[in-house]
Amino acid sequence: MLGKYRNTLFSILEAVIPEGKKFPKGNSDDVERIEQFAKQNKAFGIILKILLFTIEETEKISSKPINKRIEILKKWQKGGTIRRAIAEIILTIIKFSHFYEKNVYENFGCVWDKAPKFYQKPRYMIQVKTADQFSEDIECEAAVVGSGAGGGVVAKELTDKGIAVVIVEEGKYFTREHFNGQAIEAFRKFYSPIHRMIAFGNGVFVIPSGRLVGGSTAINTGTCWRTPEWILERWEKELGLRELSPKNMEKYFEKVENIIRVQEASDRVIGGIKEVISRGCKPLGFRHYPLKRNAPDCDAQGVCNFGCPTDARLSTNISYIPKALERGAILLEKTKLERIIIENGKAKGVIVNSNGKKIKINSKVVIISCGSIMTPVVLMKNKINPSGQVGKNLTIHPSLNVGAFFENDIIDPHKHAPQAYCIDSLHREGILFLHAGLQPDAGAVAIPYIGDMFSKIMSEYEKTAWFGVLVEDRPSGMVKALGDNPIIFYWLGKREIELLKKGIITMAKIFLYAGAKYVFPPIRGIDDIKSFAELESLQTKSLSATDFKIIVGFHPLGTCRMGIDPRNSVVDQNHKVHGIDNLFVCDGSVVPTSIGVNPQETIMALATRAAEKIAEFIT
């Protein structure tokens, strides 16, 4: 597949990754693995070959001695947009694949295959079918499409009220036996396809989401926040959403927290990052504390984002969906919504498809819970957009990860929960700092160096620390539909750029005060910051969206926002789509503005409340 450019790949691997304490130097086994992957993923293979061709034919890199190869790579890293992108992609691939290897990974003290060896299928799984197992129309009262934070919760709450529910989920019902903690396998099986997760605008933004039973809750980090009171008050005062006042929402938060067992993270789960952050925040007088999580029995294997191998995180596939199934709901897995049946302005059911077979589900109400990216696509495909607002007002909580290396601290980022600690002193300004620990394979990509310095840091990976900067953004994106697929646009505004910059500088300060030897700011062209003086020069640097390294928006919201005025919103306070009877939306897309905190509990509380309203409507 890579032909003569295998040699180019090998020469770069050899230069970038010298032998370290816990790993061999970049070698021909890495080349072999990358080539195998390229054979299985043709588009990846073609792109990689083009990149290798470009650098080889321009620089003849494979014929140069190692020090020259490093010089060339550094020159490309600091070059124009195209050269920089080529260098970044190649380095990402080789660093990740070198450390995503069983023996190397295990040398870091991690378990490669975390899935349990014995697993007994729970009884409720007999309620899980695929649509093609049915030969006739399915009759129910509520068809819920999607099984994540919105769909999973609304389905269970309706079932509790005696309503006959069918849940339709495009993904599969994966269980512990599938959650082995391996990143590539997880991305391939549990995440949405790449074209549903990339936004273009004044940069390229990654917006990950889950496509499995449990939706994104089954691959999320387990952090739980109530919607900040000031946000609920703003919705009440500025948007007229009186029913969502802090007082009214209280009981829904409480109910959710009981079901998913929200508790403060323990020191065992947090790890060494707590001490570092305490030290670094002291001179600044910043507030820091353990996060609340829905994983009280977590044993801190650090792979939440690849599915929890112990069922400790009570995502909806572990908490809400089993309860709904035990009480009689049917779940159609690997079944995709094709069409919403609308007659005379009223939703009457859905047509779903599994394995090419289409089945009709007749229902009193239809609840769309496909998430903030896919729900607007579903509505637009069905020509439901009375206000013209469907797909607009996208916010994503743009986030970046700041790294640091400490000579005298053992932090062990890969042996603790990836997110269990926070700093909230700039929260009202729109910046929240959240722990964001990385496994060695992802950490290798985030460490900016190549050559000896890279291997030195990777050899002492336990001394690295990672903390994320999350920004509460204004609506600045949109989702368009191209058939069944989204095209996502997002523009990082000036305010958000300044907030990200301030967040990075503040986080760097915290790390420096804590005694970091090197801080790795996620800004292109700056490998590290070693002193407050160096940080000063960053302060005066003007940045644009493309100056930041990969910006991730883990929390897309707002694309079918709730509002009282049908002209500028998509659903009313009861989650009913304006202008269409019996059709409801219940997921992150209805959240009217960015909330500045991880949103699963907000979505779940809204879904709990929505179920009350929908049940009243049905009965």
150, 181, 203, 271: which one contacts ligand FAD (CB under 6 A)? Answer: 150
Among the residue ranges 141-149, 342-350, 359-367, 438-446, the one whose residues contact ligand FAD (CB under 6 A):
141-149
Binders of ligand FAD in range 326-345 (CB under 6 A):
336-337
Backbone φ and ψ of 549, nearest 5°? -70, 180
Which residue, 45 or 468, has its beta carbon nearer to ligand FAD? 468
Residue window 541-580: x/- pattern of binding to ligand FAD, with contact defined by CB under 6 A: -------------xx-------------------------
Contact 140, 207 (CB under 8 A): no
77, 97, 180, 209: which one contacts ligand FAD (CB under 6 A)? Answer: 209
145, 347, 595, 615: which one contacts ligand FAD (CB under 6 A)? Answer: 145
Q: Does 170 bind ligand FAD (CB under 6 A)?
A: yes
Token pair 């269409």 in the structure block, residue: 580
> What 3-state class would DSSP assign to 472?
coil
219, 277, 457, 500: which one contacts ligand FAD (CB under 6 A)? Answer: 219
Q: Does 223 bind ligand FAD (CB under 6 A)?
A: yes
11, 77, 216, 363: which one contacts ligand FAD (CB under 6 A)? Answer: 216
How far apart CA 417 and CA 298 sit, in angstroms, is 8
CB atoms under 10 Å from CB of 130, counted, come to: 17
Which residue, 375 or 582, has its beta carbon nearer to ligand FAD? 375
Q: Does 473 bind ligand FAD (CB under 6 A)?
A: no
Token pair 């994503």 in the structure block, residue: 396
What is the sign, positive or negative, of the torsion defined by CA atoms of 115, 119, 123, 128? positive
Q: Does 389 bind ligand FAD (CB under 6 A)?
A: no
Q: Does 596 bind ligand FAD (CB under 6 A)?
A: no
- Cα–Cα distances in Å, from 533 out to 166, 362, 467, 509? 61, 67, 21, 11
The least CB distance from residue 32 to ligand FAD, in Å, is: 30
Q: Does 215 bind ligand FAD (CB under 6 A)?
A: yes
211, 313, 323, 576: which one contacts ligand FAD (CB under 6 A)? Answer: 211
Number of residues that bind ligand FAD (CB under 6 A): 42
Q: Does 259 bind ligand FAD (CB under 6 A)?
A: no
DSSP 385-452: -TTS-TT-SBB--EEEEEEEE-SS----GGGS-SS-EEE-TTGGGTEEEEE----HHHHHHHS---TH
How far apart CA 289 and CA 266 sit, in angstroms, is 11
Helix residue ranges, H only, 60-210: 66-77, 81-99, 102-107, 151-160, 183-190
Among the residue ranges 58-66, 143-151, 403-411, 535-543, the one whose residues contact ligand FAD (CB under 6 A):
143-151
Q: Does 186 bind ligand FAD (CB under 6 A)?
A: no
Q: How many helices (H) and strands (E) does the chain have?
A: 19, 23
Q: Does 385 bind ligand FAD (CB under 6 A)?
A: no
Among the residue ranges 87-95, 107-115, 221-229, 608-616, the one whose residues contact ligand FAD (CB under 6 A):
221-229
- Cα–Cα distances in Å, from 92 out to 304, 311, 381, 445? 22, 31, 36, 5
The least CB distance from residue 590 to ligand FAD, in Å, is: 9
Could you tell me which residues come within 8 angstroms of residue 264 by beta carbon, excluding any fewer than 6 positions away?
A: 290, 291, 292, 293
Which residue, 196 or 274, has its beta carbon nearer to ligand FAD? 196
Contact 243, 573 (CB under 8 A): yes
DSSP state of 338: E
Q: Does 603 bind ligand FAD (CB under 6 A)?
A: yes
Among the residue ranges 37-45, 233-241, 366-374, 438-446, the one whose residues contact ligand FAD (CB under 6 A):
366-374
Among the residue ranges 40-48, 60-68, 205-213, 438-446, the one whose residues contact ligand FAD (CB under 6 A):
205-213
Burial of 411 (0-12, 13-18, 19+ CB in 10 A): buried
Q: Does 182 bind ligand FAD (CB under 6 A)?
A: no
Q: Does 220 bind ligand FAD (CB under 6 A)?
A: yes
Q: Does 322 bind ligand FAD (CB under 6 A)?
A: no
The residue with its CB nearest to ligand FAD is: 148
Q: Does 147 bind ligand FAD (CB under 6 A)?
A: yes
What are residue 520's DSSP bridge partners? 403
How far apart CA 566 and CA 572 sit, in angstroms, is 8
Sheet containing 330-332, strands listed edge to edge, beginning at the edge strand earlier in sequence: 128-129, 330-332, 165-168, 142-145, 365-368, 583-585
Contact positions toward ligand FAD, by CB under 6 A?
A: 145-151, 168-171, 208-211, 215-217, 219-223, 305, 336-337, 369-372, 374, 378, 419, 554-555, 587-588, 598-601, 603
